[in-house]
């Protein structure tokens, strides 16, 4: 195991002490691989790292899955359970008398309910209250992994804005599959999503690619990303098939200005909500305020969406190593929409955009 993981364990233990958490229980989600390199299978057999603030960590895992674990005795012990055993009892025994517990946000409710029944006097909270702020700050290796994933996504986005990915005459689903194949060809192990919203569908931010055939004279919002060596990419570019009407050009101009200003505002020390406000004020000033219907961005790392969230109400100041999206959008229901998204890292040298693809409206052949 890398020393960075041992150092992460130390930081988690000290954050637990500060927060008054006696024991962390990690199951599904990214906290477990972040600390151990092991990703739990999302199955009815319980996998759980029992990590006391004041003791050694133990990974409780079904015996048939234990061979997948890359052991590291410096970091954690492995206890394999057999099919006739009750892993919840095992976890409760390792927890012992500790009663201030934090459990993975994505642990199955069925296990939490069984653990609560076994330890009725325990107090519970979400593990992200301890791990979220720590995982949000990326070390140099993590920033390099995010940059590599972003560069791979950039190569696909470059093909899109140059018109090398045919749009007109194909269905959204075909274009989505094409983008997904290209993400893999560029080095991603997994495609997490490839949103293609055309025509009126471009006004639906999380549109699912459908059998709709893309026509001439349409906005096409493409938002895609995947996982490469554990870390996520996420980029959005908007294309227009043929000559865009003036109304769309005006909308896009406001959006482009808002996105660039928000990236420039993302300096260390700036509260997350201020970055959101910069984008929102410009879009509101352009007359589209009511059509910017989502937050400006989200943190990114082992997960597509994680801390810090670039949203009104989040007063957390940006720290060096915070990695997040800046992705304002404007959506006129039933007509058209546009979004521009880059991944940005806050650093002492200023905001660093990991995506480099041109932001100008991509006018492609109709």
Task: Reduce the DSSP state of residue 38 to 3 states and report it.
Answer: coil
Beta bridge partner(s), residue 3 = none
Looking at 134-142, 250-258, 310-318, 336-344, which segment touches Zn ion (CB under 5 A)? 336-344
Task: Closer to Zn ion by CB, 38 or 231: give it.
Answer: 231
Q: How far is the CB of 300 from Zn ion (least distance, A)?
A: 7
Is 178 a binding residue for Zn ion by CB under 5 A? The answer is no
Task: Reduce the DSSP state of residue 115 to 3 states and report it.
Answer: helix
Q: How far is the CB of 194 from Zn ion (least distance, A)?
A: 10
Q: How far is the CB of 142 from Zn ion (least distance, A)?
A: 17
Looking at 147-155, 174-182, 235-243, 251-259, which segment touches Zn ion (CB under 5 A)? 235-243
CA-CA distance, 147 to 329, in Å (whole number)?
23
CA-CA distance, 160 to 256, in Å (whole number)?
18
CA-CA distance, 101 to 95, in Å (whole number)?
9
Question: DSSP per residue over 232-265, as a string?
Answer: E--EEEEEEESSPPHHHHHHHHHHHHHHHHHHHH
**In sequence order, which residues have a C-beta less than 8 Å from that of residue 16 and are 6 or more positions away?**
22, 24, 53, 102, 130
In the structure encoding, which two tokens stand for residue 234, read together?
């996420």
Q: How far is the CB of 341 from Zn ion (least distance, A)?
A: 5
Long-range own/partner contacts, residues 112-120 (CB < 8 A, 24 or more apart): 114/88, 115/25, 115/88, 115/91, 118/88, 118/89, 118/92, 119/92, 119/95
In the structure encoding, which two tokens stand for residue 24, read together?
């962390």
- Angle at the Cα of 141 from the Cα atoms of 140 and 147, rounded to 5 degrees: 90
Query: Cα-Cα-Cα-Cα dihedral of 45, 51, 56, 62, to 10°?
Result: 0
Q: How far is the CB of 261 from Zn ion (least distance, A)?
A: 18
Task: Closer to Zn ion by CB, 115 or 203: give it.
Answer: 203
Residue 140 burial (10 A CB sphere; 0-12, 13-18, 19+): exposed
CA-CA distance, 203 to 198, in Å (whole number)?
8
Task: Closer to Zn ion by CB, 276 or 341: give it.
Answer: 341
Looking at 124-132, 251-259, 314-322, 340-348, which segment touches Zn ion (CB under 5 A)? 340-348
Is 325 a binding residue for Zn ion by CB under 5 A? The answer is yes
Looking at 64-72, 84-92, 176-184, 222-230, which segment touches Zn ion (CB under 5 A)? 222-230
Looking at 46-54, 179-187, 323-331, 354-362, which segment touches Zn ion (CB under 5 A)? 323-331
Number of residues that bind Zn ion (CB under 5 A): 5
Among 142, 172, 178, 234, binds Zn ion (CB under 5 A): 234
Is 233 a binding residue for Zn ion by CB under 5 A? The answer is no
Among 154, 172, 218, 223, binds Zn ion (CB under 5 A): 223
Task: Closer to Zn ion by CB, 172 or 223: give it.
Answer: 223
Q: How far is the CB of 7 from Zn ion (least distance, A)?
A: 29
Looking at 84-92, 130-138, 220-228, 283-291, which segment touches Zn ion (CB under 5 A)? 220-228
Chain positions contacting Zn ion, by CB under 5 A: 223, 234, 236, 325, 341
């Amino acid at each position: 195991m890398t020393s960075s993981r041992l150092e992460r364990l130390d930081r988690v233990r000290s954050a637990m002490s500060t927060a008054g958490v006696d024991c962390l229980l990690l199951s599904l989600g990214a906290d477990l691989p972040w600390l151990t390199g092991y990703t739990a299978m999302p199955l009815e057999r319980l996998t759980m790292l029992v990590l006391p603030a004041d003791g050694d960590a133990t990974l409780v895992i079904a015996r048939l899955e234990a061979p997948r674990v890359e052991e590291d005795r410096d970091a954690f012990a492995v206890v394999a359970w057999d099919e006739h055993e009750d892993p919840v009892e095992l976890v409760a025994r390792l927890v012992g008398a500790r009663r201030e517990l934090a459990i993975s946000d994505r642990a199955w409710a069925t296990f939490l309910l069984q653990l609560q029944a076994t330890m009725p006097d325990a107090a519970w909270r979400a593990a992200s209250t301890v791990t979220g702020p720590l995982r949000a700050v990326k070390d140099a290796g993590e920033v390099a992994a995010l940059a590599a994933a972003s560069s791979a996504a950039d190569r696909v986005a470059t093909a899109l804005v140059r018109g090398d990915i045919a749009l007109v005459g194909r269905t959204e689903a075909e274009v989505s599959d094409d983008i997904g194949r290209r993400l893999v060809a560029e080095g991603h192990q997994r495609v997490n999503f490839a949103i293609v919203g055309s025509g009126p569908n471009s006004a639906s931010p999380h549109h699912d690619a459908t059998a709709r055939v893309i026509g001439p004279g349409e906005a096409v919002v493409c938002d895609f990303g995947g996982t490469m060596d554990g870390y996520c990419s996420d980029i959005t570019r908007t294309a227009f098939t043929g000559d865009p009407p003036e109304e769309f050009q005006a909308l896009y101009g406001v959006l482009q200005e808002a996105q660039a200003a928000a990236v420039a505002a993302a300096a260390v020390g700036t509260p997350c909500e201020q970055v959101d406000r910069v984008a929102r004020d410009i879009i509101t000033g352009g007359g589209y305020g009511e059509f910017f219907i989502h937050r400006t961005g989200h943190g990114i790392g082992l997960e597509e969406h994680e801390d810090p969230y670039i949203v009104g109400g989040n007063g957390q100041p940006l720290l060096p190593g915070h990695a997040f999206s800046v992705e304002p959008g404007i959506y006129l229901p039933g007509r058209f929409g546009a979004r521009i998204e880059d991944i940005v890292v806050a650093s002492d040298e200023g905001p660093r955009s990991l995506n480099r693809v041109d932001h100008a409206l991509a006018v492609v052949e109709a």
